[in-house]
Structure 1
Amino acid sequence: MHAASHPNGEPRADVAVVGGGIVGLMIAWELVRSDRTVRVIDPDPAGGASYAAAGMLAAVSELHYQEDALLALMLESAQLWPGLLDSLPEGTRDTGYRTAQTLVLGLDAADKRALTDLRAAQARHGLEVEPLSVREARRIEPMLSPSLSCAFHVAADHQVDPRRVCRQLIAAIGSRGGSLVRASAVALLRAEPGENARVTGVALDDGSGVLAGEVIVANGLGASGLGGLLAPLESALRPVHGDILRLRVPDRLRPLLTATVRGVVRGHPVYLVPRDDGTLVVGATSREDGLSGVAAGGVYQLLRDAQALAPAVAELELVEVTARARPGTRDNAPLLGRMRDTDGESIAGLVVATGFYRHGVLLSPVAADLCRRVVDGESPSSLDAFHPDRFSQAKSKEPV
């Protein structure tokens, strides 16, 4: 299909995707593959949380208590990643995808108790986690500290490089006729009459607009700034800032690590993700202190804890320090599906995909699949727990 122009000169598309991070780009790729015209709207594609993300596809390691529905979604998405990568055109498959094992480590006795409890929870969900002796862990990764209290092996968790994935998705979308609009969305366009009439497109900050049969809002924290029909998201989303480091491993220390290392150091989580370009990603803090820039204490904590697990980290070159805000929700689960009006009826033409918090990279394939199914007219049952207006709807049903 080819894009046409509205009589007013506004570009028309089958779908407008607001947000050019990994979630929005993955959705756009899924939709162009279904022979739809797609326009992705973002002033700085792949420059937000996706730029900072480490890219761990860690459904097993990321298990948290009382998140059963989210776990099922993560496991489903992890299974979708290989097929998604195979769907990319030749020449756009350099995504840094690695199936290297993951080691989960604890430093002291309290860390060991916490990770042992986590392993018990993982076992109850049928997730495979193998305990290792510290000696066995150091046989796999000789640069690990001998002072560890425990080690576990997770074979199912993998990784990608989100920056490379986003670059390749942009190229792939373009190869199928999709286009990128480097502008900010400021409002939704709606058909008249009626406050909750069908959404027909997006107004941009340069005074222009994009008309579309469907609008998918996938711009993270920016979703709440569109107001109007999306006003309920203002109280549903919160910024959770994270600091993340990138270090270069000198030739004499390569490979510093071959496995992804996830550790708990005196109660603080830290991860070390080796890249095939000789760099190491160390992250990430989780702050709700209002500081949008890099936190000095966060950098100190990450370096301290990374060195506790792998002492040679002190000999690496610190090449990048980044901070970004991740879109969190009250239950740490995404806001995903059709928006509903105050009567609980679905709003035609409007789909939301945000609130992915720390799981945006992992969940992007399943989010794309579900959004495409919604646009196709389906109502997937797996979305029932993730309605984008579930918090406001629940509040409206409280007795007075």
Structure 2
Amino acid sequence: MHVVIIGAGIIGLATAFELQSRGCEVTLIDPTSGQGASRAAAGMLAPAGETTWGQGILHELLGASNELYPDFVRRIEDVTGRRPDYLQNSTLVIAAEPADRDALHDLVELQNSLGFSAETLLPSAARRLEPALASNIAGAVLCKDDHQIDPRSVTGILGELFADRIIAEAATELISVNGATRAVRTSSGRIVEGDQIVLAAGLGQVPGAPKLPLRPVYGDILRMQGPARYPLLSRTIRGIVHREAVYLVPRKDGSIVLGASSREDGNSQVNIGHLHKLLDNARRLVPGIVDCSLNEVIARARPGTPDDRPLIGRVDESLVISTGYSRHGVLLSPLGSALTADLVLGAAANQDHAAAVDPNRFAGRQANEETPAPTIMEMHR
């Protein structure tokens, strides 16, 4: 079977990898492989840290995909001979001020109710684990099973694996015959036929595809280089500072990813005000970031849905969509690619998971009638 995949971000590439492992021939169409939302993502594999009220089925999806990650990484290494930068280094969630402890305590309560690993620590114990933390933090929680991966390493490795099967052009039209999608027209006029077509282009809406309830959620991200003589951090730090979220993700090369804003202002450029707030909040948690140097500042739009769950489903007998992963695209890559491959091949899938991501769950209502559940920080504002 020949499958044409529109989109070569982490979702499209992971889906190509999954389909190839099941014996399919794949072609990907993307003018800028790996340069969209995947390029900016921090890569936190944090089902515990990402918990929010009212999103039980999403938590189940995040936890299930997190469990698939070690095998996902191993399979990539077995096929390519290169191992993605996957670090099982745990996560500390830090309350900066006494007033932030309420949000932290609620987080622990929710995490424990969902079966996630969350251990409350005294501030002194957290500082023993991470000496660079500020001396006046108010509380901490250790999430031992929340890890990280560098998305750029995944897209880089898989991009090279499929380099001769990526058409570096934009998809401009889906071509249907008798009600079934049979081919994709590219910006050069090329017609690419496939037995099955997968639309995994994030926010990219291709003429001929159904209108999807997607919205751009922009995030500003900084990448810093830590001190040369020692790593500033060994674990991911997720902070609650004045009821606002911030995170610092250390990479194995000593760099740190700092993020992220979440804005829906339609501005695709980096926002200076949000950068200032991120830096100020991060400095409150880890004062040593003032000794770092700036490597990069970047902004990208994540494809948001009304309930933060992805849209994975069959549109017609030969078109499947896999998009709308919101801020969870990296974490959900193993599970999302497997569910998409199941649909393409008509294989049995976990019915609860399939129903949770079925695009038809929004049928009959406008996308803006349902808004994402508030985060714990928002609940306490």
TM-score range, shorter chain: over 0.9
Residue 297 of structure 1 aligns with which residue?
273
Match of 2:177 among 185, 191, 195: 191
Tell me which moved more, 46-55 or 79-88: 79-88
**Residues 314, 321 of structure 2: 8 Å contact kept:** yes
Q: Which runs of 5+ in 1 are unaligned?
A: 1-12, 340-346
Aligned-pair identity in percent equals: 40
Residue 202 of structure 2 aligns with which residue?
220
**Residues 13, 158 of structure 2: 8 Å contact kept:** yes
- Are 1:366 and 2:335 counterparts? yes
How many aligned residue pairs are there?
365
Letter of the structure 2 residue corresponding to residue 66 of structure 1: G
Task: After TM superposition, list the pairs within 5 Å mapping 1:111-130 onto structure 2.
Answer: 111-130=100-119
CA deviations over 1:33-80 (Å, ceiling 9, x no partner):
111110011000000000000011111110111111111111111111
Task: After TM superposition, list the pairs within 5 Å mapping 1:30-179 onto structure 2.
Answer: 30-88=18-76, 89=78, 91-173=80-162, 179=165
CA distance in 1, matches of 2:226, 2:312: 39
Cα gap change, 1:126/1:321 in structure 2, threshold over 3 Å: closer, same or farther?
Answer: same
Give TM-score, length-normalised by structure 1.
Answer: 0.88
**Residues 24, 218 of structure 1: 8 Å contact kept:** yes
- Are 1:392 and 2:350 counterparts? no
Cα gap change, 1:82/1:394 in structure 2, threshold over 3 Å: closer, same or farther?
Answer: same
Residue 266 of structure 1 aligns with which residue?
242
CA deviations over 1:92-136 (Å, ceiling 9, x no partner):
433110001210001112211011111111111111200001000
**Residues 236, 248 of structure 2: 8 Å contact kept:** yes
**Residues 92, 172 of structure 1: 8 Å contact kept:** no
RMSD: 1.7
SS in 1 for 2:86: coil
Match of 2:218 among 220, 235, 241: 241
CA distance in 2, matches of 1:221, 1:273: 26
Residue 329 of structure 1 aligns with which residue?
305
SS in 1 for 2:189: coil
CA distance in 2, matches of 1:73, 1:356: 11
CA distance in 1, matches of 2:255, 2:117: 29
- Are 1:204 and 2:199 counterparts? no
Instruction: Mark the structure with the bigger radius of gyration.
Output: 1
Q: Give the drift of 1:267.
A: 1.0
**Residues 32, 173 of structure 1: 8 Å contact kept:** no
CA distance in 1, matches of 2:337, 2:356: 17
Letter of the structure 2 residue corresponding to residue 119 of structure 1: V
CA distance in 2, matches of 1:372, 1:102: 31
Q: Give the drift of 1:250.
A: 2.1
CA distance in 2, matches of 1:229, 1:260: 39
Match of 1:313 among 286, 289, 300: 289
Letter of the structure 2 residue corresponding to residue 107 of structure 1: A
Residue 210 of structure 2 aligns with which residue?
230
